[in-house]
Amino acid sequence: MAMSCKDGKLGNLDNGKYVRYTPEQVEALERLYHECPKPSSIRRQQLIRECPILSNIEPKQIKVWFQNRRCREKQRKEASRLQAVNRKLTAMNKLLMEENDRLQKQVSQLVYENGYFRQHTQNATLATKDPSCESVVTSGQHHVTPQHPPRDASPAGLLSIAEETLAEFLSKATGTAVEWVQMPGMKPGPDSIGIVAISHGCTGVAARACGLVGLEPTRVAELLKDRPSWFRDCRAVDVLNVLPTANGGTIELLYMQLYAPTTLAPARDFWLLRYTSVLEDGSLVVCERSLKNTQNGPSMPAVQHFVRAEMLPSGYLIRPCEGGGSIIHIVDHMDLEPWRVPEVLRPLYESSTVLAQKTTMAALRQLRQIAQEVSQSNVTGWGRRPAALRALSQRLSRGFNEALNGFTDEGWSMMGNDGMDDVTILVNSSPDKLMGLNLSFANGFPSVSNAVLCAKASMLLQNVPPAILLRFLREHRSEWADSSIDAYSAAAVKVGPCSLPGSRVGGFGGQVILPLAHTIEHEEFLEVIKLEGVAHSPEDAIMPRDVFLLQLCSGMDENAVGTCAELIFAPIDASFADDAPLLPSGFRIIPLDSGKEASSPNRTLDLASALEIGPTGNKASNDYSGNSGCMRSVMTIAFEFAFESHMQEHVASMARQYVRSIISSVQRVALALSPSHLSSHAGLRTPLGTPEAQTLARWICQSYRLYMGVELLKSGSEGSETILKTLWHHSDAIMCCSLKALPVFTFANQAGLDMLETTLVALQDITLEKIFDDHGRKTLCTEFPQIMQQGFACLQGGICLSSMGRPVSYERAVAWKVLNEEENAHCICFMFINWSFV
């Protein structure tokens, strides 16, 4: 049978000849296609009856027309996709060629400087051998840097400063004014966030990024100027004066404040000039620099509780890209006055990597996220627009920063301590704070809650990666949280029954994680946490209720250098409105060292024993006992509570004790997660050598051979330790679950932990039913009796879910009963074959 995919005007007959449709018939078919692209045979016959103009066309011809139409639509979409990819690759190629030219210039300059310094060193060496040249050697030792006279800040003077700033910025963005080195862990490519580099050997800290975004230059500039919308550390940017320039640009005088990231350091502020102009080639430039040592113009005096930092020439070069979108160069260059913070925190203020992660890359992520939202559906599966979800994330982060900094101009005042200064208590009873919480909700703060209290503290952590610790805090809330405090916080905002869409995708010890959204680089998760059966009052004890928290989680990628890890949450109102009242609390873990731990994220192989039976029962791993260096980080904790004014002392005492208990729990967990702890006890065996684990591995293999008639492991695996080691490194995901009414996982090999995206300690709180979808649970219920009766079952391929809610496909699965030495059922073992993330 012949057919055509061209123009939609040709049909076919059984004799192989084409027939041409009339324009009216094509119009009718197109209309029907948009209503139903793939109609059934019954529907096609119904279409012929309903549309008289199609009455002379056979149903078989209608079927072929729809097939051809779908073919053309698929071809059109594929062509459009390939054109977009081609435009992106062309732009990326142009960007890489420019970067290559810049690097060649930098190499030439370095070769010249190397030759110059080599010659200078030789001359100096000769001079030291000649006594008559002593003055030459010592002449530069008492050189004093001259003081520059004040700069003119009149309109003409500001224009001169602006033009100078533009030239210096461009020399950094596309020239060799700064020696740039590639950001550790960043690999440029079509799917990467961009080309990211950090400075080497310049004043202050600096970072540079080049990337492609699917937004027009004017839109890009508009978004980047709104710094508080994408830079979470930015408290405010006030435009104090605007001056137009003769070339159509604008000069703005700005005052910017940044939050302090921890309680151990003061906040920063900047007095800036921002210059926006268009270059001769049509590129849009937004550049900034600090104004200091000026006269005859506006100035900004020092502000209490802020350290005045300096922004060296920085900004954005935005060029239109052929076919739409923009090519953008970003430069951030700052002197954050590191000498004004405690010595232990100075690496945080002297690291260009930290600046790149927090500022430069954050700008690119925001642009890419908005560009993706523009090109896709505006409503998520939760019925929320992406912009609304971003606003919720921003409010959580901003509320946490406000509580952590406790500025007096926002109404915060400090309470006296109880003889110890480890926990700081702040109180805020200002109407602005309460209005921001109450809004106009009937379910908001009760009228008797007329103040907010914040308990905050910071602690230094040694040798525990922030991502691992944060993942544990997220997945194992019961290890540190007090359910009665969660209930108190929920009652303060009168959280009622909360009916939320979505399904149960992950759970750990009485909590269920319901994902809301994540950024396109998977750097940040916004989720709802359901705490099941929480009791606060005697009435709740009779019938416990569920409590819901809105939670923001970021920095869980261990491979990202210099990334801050955060876990911020707040009880949510039953309405779960976009502007619902929020009282954020949580944790922030900031790495202080640039070195990375070269280890697996699943180092907690025997962590459960460390937490339950103490150090003497813990075992060290050969894989993790080698420490690549002392890893330090600072954790900051802040918890907010609404209360009645006459209860202030009682609530303050409760908050102090609660934060101290959290600090104690975190210290215990961090010690257990630390590889130095795992290797500090002489004579301890590795986890792959513990008797319990070796015995379980032997039982698993013996039972598999008994029921399946074949060996689970390759021949040659003899000895208990060898069996366990081979099982641990098996390519298929192998995991055991208990024989309880609600089976929970008790063991998994490395592939099993990777598939579930968890650790052994968190694994023990994941129930078997939580990793299967509805179809998988039905299949499991059907096959479970067979497993118990005949000892094994083979399951068809399907989909399961990781602890992070990601779907995982597997080709097939095998389940068998594991027998102990007495041939009694010990557990059920599952093996998922050829699994992969969807």
Domains in the chain, ordered, with CATH?
A: 31-108 (no CATH), 155-377 (3.30.530.20), 388-486+509-534+545-594+630-673 (3.30.530.20), 688-837 (3.30.450.20)
Q: Which helix (H) or strand (E) holds 278?
A: strand 267-278
What pairs with residue 836 in β-bridges? 809
CA–chain centroid gap for 27, Å, is: 48
Nearest to 272 by CA among 233, 227, 229: 227
Predicted confidence at residue 520, as pLDDT, reads: 44
Whole-angstrom distance, CA of residue 34 vs CA of residue 27: 11
Q: How many CB atoms lie within 10 A of CB 569?
A: 26
Strand, helix or coil at 644? coil
Residue 686 DSSP one-character state: P
Helix (H, G, I), strand (E, B) or coil at 57: coil
Q: What is the mean pLDDT of each run of 10 residues along the chain (838 residues)?
A: 44 53 84 81 80 80 86 84 74 75 72 71 58 39 53 88 95 88 70 81 92 91 94 94 92 96 94 95 94 82 94 95 86 95 90 92 90 70 72 92 93 81 87 53 49 92 87 86 72 46 40 59 74 54 66 80 86 73 91 52 33 33 38 91 87 92 89 60 42 86 89 72 85 90 86 83 79 81 84 87 82 91 90 87
Are 586 and 568 in contact by the 8 Å Cβ rule? The answer is: yes
For residue 743, give every residue at least 6 positions away whose Cβ sits within 8 Å of its Cβ, in sequence order, or none. Answer: 737, 767, 768, 769, 828
- Between the CA of residue 272 and those of 165, 303, 309, what are the distances in Å? 11, 15, 10
**DSSP β-bridge partners for residue 643:** 451
Of 698, 693, 694, nearest to 819 by C-alpha is 698
Q: In what order do the strands lie in the sheet with 412-414?
A: 412-414, 424-428, 451-462, 632-643, 585-591, 565-571, 545-554, 524-534, 511-518, 507-508
143: left (phi over 0), alpha (psi -120 to 50) or beta: beta
Give every CB contact of residue 97 below 8 A, 6+ residues apart in sequence: none
* DSSP labels, 588-617: EEEE--S----S-TT--TTHHHHHHH-GGG
Contacts of 108 (CB under 8 A, 6+ apart): none
User: CB neighbours of 663 closer than 8 A, spacing ≥ 6?
Assistant: 422, 457, 459, 637
Distance CA 399, CA 377 (A): 29
Residue 792 contacts residue 809 (beta carbons within 8 Å): no
Cβ(473)–Cβ(645) under 8 Å?
A: no
d(CA 407, CA 426): 10
Residue recorded with tokens 């070339």: 247
CA dihedral 661, 666, 672, 675 (to 10 degrees): -150
Cβ contacts of 190-198, under 8 Å, gap ≥ 24: 190/85, 190/88, 190/89, 190/92, 193/361, 193/364, 193/365, 193/368, 193/521, 194/364, 195/95, 195/96, 195/99, 196/356, 196/360, 196/361, 198/352, 198/353, 198/355, 198/356
**H/E element, 632:** strand 632-643
Question: What residues contact residue 300 under an 8 Å CB cut-off, 6+ apart?
Answer: 240, 255, 271, 291
CB 828 within 8 A of CB 700: no
- Report the alpha-carbon distance of residue 802 to residue 804 in Å, rounded: 5
* Global pTM value: 0.66
Q: What is the pLDDT of residue 767?
A: 85
Only one residue has tokens 């400075």, namely 199
The C-alpha atoms of residue 678 and residue 693 are separated, in whole angstroms, by 17
**Please, are residues 640 and 652 in contact by the beta-carbon 8 Å criterion?**
no
The length of the chain in residues reads 838
DSSP strand E in 390-465: where?
Answer: 412-414, 424-428, 451-462
Angle at 249 between CA 248 and CA 253, to 5 degrees: 145
3-state DSSP assignment of residue 296: coil
Q: What is the DSSP letter of 411?
A: T
Residue linked to tokens 């569920």: 546
Place of tokens 């994540």: 518
Please spell the DSSP secondary structure of 198-229, one letter per residue.
Answer: EESS-SSEEEEEEEEESS-HHHHHHHHH-GGG
Question: 3-state DSSP helix/strand/coil percent for the chain, to nearest 5?
Answer: 40, 25, 35
Tokens read off for 648: 């202030």
Q: Considering Cα of 220, then 226, then 228, then 229, what sign does the dihedral take?
A: negative
Pair of tokens at residue 82: 């390939």
| 8-state DSSP, 695 | H
Exposure of 288 in the CB half-sphere (CA atoms within 13 A)? 26
Phi, psi of 603 (to 5 degrees): -70, -10
Whole-angstrom CA distances from 240 to 254, 269, 300, 308, 525 are 6, 15, 10, 17, 36
Residues in Cβ contact with 67 at an 8 Å cutoff, skipping those fewer than 6 apart: 3
709 burial level (CB within 10 Å; 0-12, 13-18, 19+): exposed
Token pair recorded at residue 337: 């006055």
Q: Which of 178, 154, 193, 158 has its CA nearest to residue 102? A: 178
585 near 568, Cβ under 8 Å?
yes
Q: What does the block give as tokens for 575?
A: 């309405």
| CA distance linking residue 534 with residue 530, whole number of Å | 10
The CA distance from 113 to 797, in Å, is 63
d(CA 750, CA 734): 8
pLDDT given for residue 172 in this prediction: 93
Tokens representing 193 are 């966030």
pLDDT for res 19:
64
State the distance between the two ends of the chain, measured CA to CA, in whole angstroms.
Answer: 38
Contact indicator for 760, 605 with CB cutoff of 8 Å: yes
Task: Give CA–CA dist 234/178, Å, rounded.
Answer: 26
User: Cα-flanking dihedrals φ and ψ of residue 254, to 5°?
Assistant: -120, 150
Given this model, what pLDDT does residue 616 score? 32
